[in-house]
Structure 1
Amino acid sequence: METLEEFDRVLASAGSLAGWRVQSIDLRERTAALRGVATDGAVFLGCPMEPEAAAAARAGGALVFPPVPDLPFDPYRGLLYDAHELFENLSAGYEGTPDARAYAWFRETGGDGDIFSSMLRAIHDDSVNDALDELLVGARVVGVMGGHALKRGSDAFADAARLGRTLARSGLTVATGGGPGAMEAANLGAYTAPFEDGVLGKALEILAGSPSFTPSVGAWAEAGFAVRDGWPDGGRSVGIPTWFYGHEPPNVFASHIAKYFVNAVREDGLLARSNAGVVFLPGAAGTLQEIFDNATPNYYQSRGGPTPMVLVGEEHWTRTLPAWPLLCALAEGRPMAGRIALVDSVDEVPDTLERLGHGGGDGA
């Protein structure tokens, strides 16, 4: 259980906590409720509790893992992040936000060899994995990958946003790397999907005033929140960023943010969960890595069969960074050959994904 409401509901209906996993719930106001309740086999992960309640739980056979003091994050968290949590106190400067403080902690401890720090990172990332799996049960997820350097106000940014909107309106859950650039654009498109078409254009105009997260993350994020304030309750999408690239802040348009410390866990998790396919917009080293991270399980069919891969930008992927010829060479004679495509416009992506998802395709 991951919320106080769920805790109260279980206790009221079952009258027992035996065997339950209680994850990061503040139980300081539930001392009386915990007195005399069966807790055999229960595990309390990072739940603030009064000493009397913790002692009672242990006496009943529970394992109690107390909160870790002085951390800028909760390693036992039961739910994914959202933008307001990560950017809390942004008005006082980005450096004081939970996102920036977690990155600072990671930089201080990432190479210190302290097993306790590495354990906390592993617990945190596993908790995020668990929350992400719970969120995406039954969802058809399409990954949208692309470079962080794509600026607001550019035609390419608008194209990526239109793509995200189209995919979300088709019933797919858009998942991105959660950062700026093409990733933000796709999450923005999904956010505006429930609104009339003109909203996206107005949002793009607002964002163009702060085209990049450099030199000021604060101004960049505040422009994003201005869009959200103007059109609250936007559509759902997922951002999966990492503090490994902590100099790139998360964008504010993903409704659910699964932020990791370990980039390899984040990369594999993002691609593995993209069960409806992955779209690769023009990017640099990070996007190139993602193409072949995704191609490897498709090549070996290690995830039950190849999933669609659509590369966007013929010039970029055949000449600037010629990943397409290598991808075709890998695919030749294998089932994944019918699941890859190169297109030149985002307008071609939805139909191409649909075709590849049904097994059709000639690799071009």
Structure 2
Amino acid sequence: MASAESADQERRPEGGPQEQRLGPVVRRRGQVQAGTTDQRLLDTAGPSDFIHQDPWRVMRIQSEFVEGFGALAELGPAVSVFGSARTPVDSSEYEKGVRIGRALAEAGFAVITGGGPGAMEAANKGALEAGGTSVGLGIELPFEQGMNRYVDIGVNFRYFFVRKTMFVKYASGFVVLPGGLGTLDELFEALTLTQTRKVTRFPIVLCGTEYWSGLIDWMRHTLVDQGKAAPRDMDLFHVTDDMDEAIDLVTKEVGS
């Protein structure tokens, strides 16, 4: 009769150290664990700290990809809009976000944002008011307000890198309003993926020449001049103050 440890075999090879096989994992000497995998699974009185360990995190990461893919697989053409969560509702930047969301929806695109307040809320609001699909991809943070009320499809993520994959996988381009570190993170992610040709035909439009001019000057006169980037990399994005031009640039390049 097979022993209770047939699935998780513990043995001492002849002349060798004590050895424990846990599925594909081999543990020896001081790394041998007490009990078996089945025992730990069925022992309801056991410790719960396993949910905080790396093997369990892999499953949670996988589940986030599955949930995201399932929610967005039938979304259709979409554009991601980024901007600051701190943009005031009564500001011109907020109104620009509403106009962009509305124009993208009217052009037949779903609008994807980070699902939060500020510029993200503005774009979602514009898309919703125009009868388009308004998507929010939220992130678990201790200081954010949660999903804004203009989101039709919302997915909350624990992990930034899973969320960033969804922004790129299901969008055909980016429109970037003035924003902070999170906006810069998404912008440079898109620029890197485009530069390295991990994605193709991916228009990136920055709205607000005054806001972005310092960054662009640094890229041109430091990155490019010192050989850290190629001059052609400055063609990976467009900059404009005209909201109609921003929409034309992103939708024309996507449709070409």
Residue of structure 2 in register with 1:166 after alignment = 103
Give the letter for the 2:198 counterpart.
S
Q: Compared with structure 1, are the counterparts of its residues 245 and 343 closer, same or farther at alpha carbon in structure 2 (3 Å cutoff)? A: farther
Q: Distance in 1 between matches of 2:164 and 2:219?
A: 21
Instruction: Say yes or no: does 1:237 pair with 2:134.
Output: yes
Deviation at 1:122, TM superposition (A): 2.0
Give the letter for the 2:66 counterpart.
S
Residue of structure 2 in register with 1:114 after alignment = 53
Give the letter for the 1:314 counterpart.
T
Q: Distance in 1 between matches of 2:63 and 2:161?
A: 14
8 Å Cα contact 1:160/1:346 also seen in 2: no
Q: Over alpha carbons, which structure has the higher Rg?
A: 2
Residue of structure 2 in register with 1:326 after alignment = 219
Residue of structure 2 in register with 1:19 after alignment = none
- Paired residues for 1:1-364 under 5 Å: 113-115=52-54, 118-119=57-58, 121-136=60-75, 139-194=76-131, 235-244=132-141, 247-275=144-172, 277-303=173-199, 305-319=200-214, 322-323=215-216, 326=219, 329=224, 330=229, 332-333=231-232, 337=235, 339-357=236-254
Which structure is higher in strand share? 2
Q: Distance in 1 between matches of 2:65 and 2:244?
A: 37
Give the letter for the 2:153 counterpart.
H
Which ranges in structure 2 are unaligned for 5 or more consecutive residues?
1-48
Deviation at 1:241, TM superposition (A): 1.1
Which ranges in structure 1 are unaligned for 5 or more consecutive residues?
1-108, 195-234, 360-364
8 Å Cα contact 1:128/1:260 also seen in 2: no
Give the letter for the 2:219 counterpart.
L
Give the letter for the 2:203 counterpart.
P
Q: Distance in 1 between matches of 2:194 and 2:206?
A: 15
Structure with bigger RCO (C-alpha 8 Å, 6+ apart) = 2
Q: Distance in 2 between matches of 1:181 and 1:331?
A: 34
Q: Compared with structure 1, are the counterparts of its residues 191 and 273 closer, same or farther at alpha carbon in structure 2 (3 Å cutoff)? A: same
8 Å Cα contact 1:281/1:313 also seen in 2: yes
- TM-score, structure 2 as length reference: 0.70
Deviations 1:210-269 (A, max 9, x none): xxxxxxxxxxxxxxxxxxxxxxxxx42211111146634111211001211101110132
Q: Compared with structure 1, are the counterparts of its residues 268 and 325 closer, same or farther at alpha carbon in structure 2 (3 Å cutoff)? A: farther
Q: Compared with structure 1, are the counterparts of its residues 357 and 133 closer, same or farther at alpha carbon in structure 2 (3 Å cutoff)? A: closer
State percent identity of aligned pairs: 29
Q: Compared with structure 1, are the counterparts of its residues 169 and 159 closer, same or farther at alpha carbon in structure 2 (3 Å cutoff)? A: same
Q: Distance in 2 between matches of 1:176 and 1:134?
A: 16
